[in-house]
Amino acid sequence: MNTIDMYVLGTVYPEPETDENGDAIPGQEPIAGYHVNTTEAVVYFKQFEIKPKTPMSAIGGVKTFYYRFANEAQFNEFLAFVGNYNLIEISI
């Protein structure tokens, strides 16, 4: 059985808007949901799959699958059904 790499992004923020000096403007709202990317499709996550127009965190060199859960608790609930996986926590 293959091991699925899961990149846990959690809360994701959009690219920062900048002012005329190129400085980031504070106070941006996060993108809704709890975000997780994987190296393989996860059948148990199918209902949470999203297809971003401009992905912010593709996994280098491999097809990336994007999922958005309501929150971390929901992700953990469905994670219990997945067999072999590696959790990799990153922040954007």
Does residue 55 carry a pLDDT above 60?
yes
Residue where the block lists tokens 């809360």: 11
Specify the pTM. 0.81
pLDDT tens digits along 8-17: 999 988 888 8
Q: What angle do CA 41, 16, 48 make, to 5 degrees?
A: 20
**Band (61; pLDDT cuts 50, 70, 90):** confident
The domains of the chain are located at: 4-9+30-89
Residue where the block lists tokens 């808007």: 17
- Average pLDDT of the residues in 35-55: 91
**Band (92; pLDDT cuts 50, 70, 90):** low
